[in-house]
Amino acid sequence: MSSPLSNRLSAETSPYLLQHADNPVQWQPWDQQSLALARLENRPILLSIGYSACHWCHVMAHESFEDEDVAAVLNRLFVNIKVDREERPDLDQIYQTAHQILTQRSGGWPLTMFLAPDGTPFFGGTYFPKAPRYGLPGFADLCEKVADAFRNRRGDIDTQNGELRRVLAGTTPVPTPGAEPFDAAPLAAAEQALARAFDPTHGGFGGAPKFPHPTDLAFLLRRDDAASRRMALTTLTRMSEGGIYDQIGGGFCRYSVDERWEIPHFEKMLYDNGPLLALCADAWVRTGDALYARVTEETAAWGVREMQTAEGGYCSSLDADSEGEEGKYYVWDRAEVEPLLTPQESALAARRWGFDGPPNFEGRHWHARIAMAIGADDMPLLESARKKLFAAREARVRPGRDDKILSSWNALMIEGMAHAARVFERREWLVSAQRAMDFIRGTMWRDGRLLATAKDGRAHLDAYLDDHAFLLAALLELMQAEFRNEDLSFAVELADTLLARFEDHEIGGFFFTAHDHETLIHRPKTGHDNATPAGNGVAAVALQRLGHLLGETRYLAAAEKTLLLFWPQLRRSPAGFGSLLRALEEALTPPDIVILRGPAAAMREWRRALGADPRRLVLCLPNGLPNLPAMLAKPESDHVNAWVCRGVTCLEPTANLKSLIS
């Protein structure tokens, strides 16, 4: 039976889906029309999940999805659904977990899953080649065999699907009756687990490929233990010196293919760069190392220059490929470099960035990394060389930019940009962060509901736990950089939405999807960090902080119930729970809440002296601010006064800055 559907992706906003709108495959978006057709025709679903900056997604598209013969097989056998994992992280989370259960291997992108008409997956993998290679079957032949199994072994598939649903349901945490009080044991255990995996030579954890893991690095950098801080700083230093960091244009790539951080997978993701921006700022506070200041400066400049739209929101990612080749935009030939620079610049650049050694990319090109230290006197000459190479690179064909605006990823960049602005007192970075938040609030917050994605003036899709939690955390950081009443009001609305639409009121924690979200085969509730922090962990931290700030016990109770739910997992195996570990840290020792009132000009010295300690939340509320809530409406004065609280204990107000920082 042939499908009456044609390719329907041209009406979508996702750049990834639009890349497939002209495929001969009759792609459908994930919607009720395509799902209903699968049920009506009793036809299996081919679900393909990817994203626009994914190299192997492009490879599979060129090999199979653009091929008329392969497309004819897919159209004959399946209802073919294409999903952007960045717009639908709920679907990606469910089917990545299902892939791991079915194959006993980790997943990735492109994710290729075959579903029964009710949405339950019965077979899957990631990349499949058009013709057999890499030990993998040819894709069209595989599809024929999968469809044959669906027709002739339906009973076995139904039995397997029932078991899969049971296993998926078992991944949801359940509370332990009579749980012991919280203690610091998981914090020490997490430090030990990270130490065992740490690479003391190159930094990072484990071998190749290496990912940044900013949540783990932030956890280690906050610890009082010198060895833990050294792990974080070594990793940040090696990354900042390596090729995973763009030495010419700023910004971090997604991961390194080698253990030395030398050659990256060249895509740049917004969700990495926001947290890494904040981490480098904090590393500079810890060490005063000019390397971290430079990387912070260049990454913030990259974010504003290349990722922020005229309307204010930040775009999602830059592709790894340009002109069909991975890394082509970023790598160099000697013959290209030398005419661009003076002899002195060329000699210094070659030594500094390793251009005087053998080619390090595919045996024929050079990718810049810091190969040799230079003195401060040489930095102006190197900067002159960098600017010339940057200008030449700008004339190349640029990698594709995924310009959809995601609430969650914008929140991570807003938080990082605002934190760096606070540390370095850079007004333009703060303005960038505020513009992005104003875009989210003005475009993606409608009638008390947050939307997940926007592009070209169209915002849609109900937002998820991460969107709400990350935005709440970003607002708390923004308010510390510069207090605005509208940010506090938005924070309260988001917190109330978290409790009303996402909290499991019976056993605690937050579901990834809202209570009125589309019904799927599973409703995740996870505390484990992945490429981005866990929404449950970020929600718990942000609700604790807002609860202490406003004296709102509902927020504190929701955070405590979340920790109680995940406490057995934290006690058993805390590795990978960095966000929840921060919530645990602040449950055991609440952060200092410092409210400053007085003349705006006089507060600058206090703000500078108090710094940006992650264990302290500081709000500067100059005289004249209207409509403050009772907990913040401290008396005005002609000099600065500070009100300090830790948890439920508050001190007498003080006008003595030295006593506050001693």
pLDDT of residue 180: 79
Asked if residue 298 and residue 189 are part of one domain, the reply reads yes
Query: Which two structure tokens, joined as six digits, stand for 488?
Result: 């506090």
Q: Find how far residue 236's CA is from the centre of its chain.
A: 17
Task: Please report whether residue 623 resides in a domain.
Answer: yes
pLDDT of residue 600: 94
Under a CB-based contact definition with an 8 Å cutoff, are residues 27 and 49 in contact?
no
Q: How confident is the model at residue 3 (pLDDT cuts 50, 70, 90)?
A: very low
Asked if residue 428 and residue 414 are part of one domain, the reply reads yes
pLDDT tens digit string along 523-554?
Answer: 999 999 999 999 999 999 999 999 999 999 99
Report the distance separating Cα 187 and Cα 85, nearest Å. Answer: 32
Domain range for 77: 9-170
CATH number of the domain at 443, please.
1.50.10.10
- pLDDT cut 90: percent of the chain above it: 94
Task: Please report whether residue 607 resides in a domain.
Answer: yes
Asked if residue 550 and residue 411 are part of one domain, the reply reads yes
Report the distance separating Cα 426 and Cα 314, nearest Å. Answer: 19
Under a CB-based contact definition with an 8 Å cutoff, are residues 565 and 526 in contact?
no
Asked if residue 254 and residue 366 are part of one domain, the reply reads no
β-pair type (649-650, 641-646): antiparallel
Asked if residue 601 and residue 485 are part of one domain, the reply reads no
Task: Please report whether residue 308 resides in a domain.
Answer: yes
pLDDT of residue 647: 82
β-pair type (45-50, 79-84): parallel
Under a CB-based contact definition with an 8 Å cutoff, are residues 186 and 574 in contact?
yes
Report the distance separating Cα 296 and Cα 282, nearest Å. Answer: 10
Cβ neighbours, 10 Å, residue 638: 8
Task: Please report whether residue 180 resides in a domain.
Answer: no
Under a CB-based contact definition with an 8 Å cutoff, are residues 534 and 558 in contact?
no
Q: Mark which of 572, 588, 604 sits at the end of a domain.
A: 588
User: What's the burial of 353, exposed, middle or buried (CB within 10 Å: 0-12/13-18/19+)?
Assistant: buried
Average the pLDDT over 513-517 and give the result.
98
Q: How confident is the model at residue 353 (pLDDT cuts 50, 70, 90)?
A: very high
pLDDT at 266 over 90: yes
Task: Please report whether residue 496 resides in a domain.
Answer: yes
pLDDT of residue 581: 98
pLDDT of residue 203: 98
pLDDT of residue 533: 98
Asked if residue 288 and residue 429 are part of one domain, the reply reads yes
pLDDT tens digit string along 403-423?
Answer: 999 999 999 999 999 999 999
Asked if residue 372 and residue 289 are part of one domain, the reply reads no
Residue-by-residue DSSP string for 372-384? S---GGGHHHHHH
Report the distance separating Cα 565 and Cα 567, nearest Å. Answer: 6
CATH number of the domain at 72, please.
3.40.30.10
Query: Which two structure tokens, joined as six digits, stand for 538?
Result: 């970020």
pLDDT of residue 551: 93
Asked if residue 200 and residue 309 are part of one domain, the reply reads yes
Q: Mark which of 588, 612, 647 sits at the end of a domain.
A: 588
pLDDT of residue 85: 97
Average the pLDDT over 52-58 and give the result.
91
Task: Please report whether residue 362 resides in a domain.
Answer: yes
- Spell out a b/e string for 166-184, using b for 16 or more CB atoms within 10 Å of the CB, else e: eebeeebbebeeeeeebee
Asked if residue 531 and residue 461 are part of one domain, the reply reads yes
Average the pLDDT over 456-464 and give the result.
95
Average the pLDDT over 217-229 and give the result.
96
pLDDT tens digit string along 88-114?
Answer: 999 999 999 999 999 999 999 999 999
pLDDT at 2 over 50: no
pLDDT of residue 152: 97
pLDDT at 659 over 90: no
pLDDT of residue 561: 97
Query: Which two structure tokens, joined as six digits, stand for 340?
Result: 């661009």
pLDDT at 560 over 70: yes
Backbone angles phi, psi at 638, to 5 degrees: -85, 5
Q: In 395-534, which residue ranges form alpha helices assigned H by DSSP?
A: 407-424, 427-443, 465-481, 485-497
Asked if residue 420 and residue 560 are part of one domain, the reply reads yes
pLDDT at 1 over 60: no
Q: How confident is the model at residue 259 (pLDDT cuts 50, 70, 90)?
A: very high
Task: Please state the domain count of the chain.
Answer: 4
Under a CB-based contact definition with an 8 Å cutoff, are residues 114 and 122 in contact?
yes
Backbone angles phi, psi at 29, to 5 degrees: -75, 165
Under a CB-based contact definition with an 8 Å cutoff, are residues 513 and 523 in contact?
yes
Q: What is the pLDDT of the chain when averaged over all its residues? A: 96
Asked if residue 314 and residue 440 are part of one domain, the reply reads yes
CA angle 211, 214, 219 (to 5 degrees): 130
Under a CB-based contact definition with an 8 Å cutoff, are residues 83 and 461 in contact?
no
Q: How confident is the model at residue 4 (pLDDT cuts 50, 70, 90)?
A: low
pLDDT of residue 660: 86
Task: Please report whether residue 176 resides in a domain.
Answer: no
Q: What is the DSSP letter of 315?
A: P
pTM over 0.95: yes
Give the torsion through C-alpha atoms of 554, 556, 558, 560, to 10 deg. -150
Asked if residue 157 and residue 13 are part of one domain, the reply reads yes
Task: Please report whether residue 2 resides in a domain.
Answer: no
pLDDT of residue 438: 98
Residue-by-residue DSSP string for 153-197? -HHHHHHHHHHHHHHHHHTS--PPTTPPPP-SHHHHHHHHHHHHH
Average the pLDDT over 41-59 and give the result.
95
What size, in residues, is the chain? 662
Q: Mark which of 556, 588, 620 sits at the end of a domain.
A: 588
pLDDT at 402 over 60: yes
Average the pLDDT over 222-250 and give the result.
97
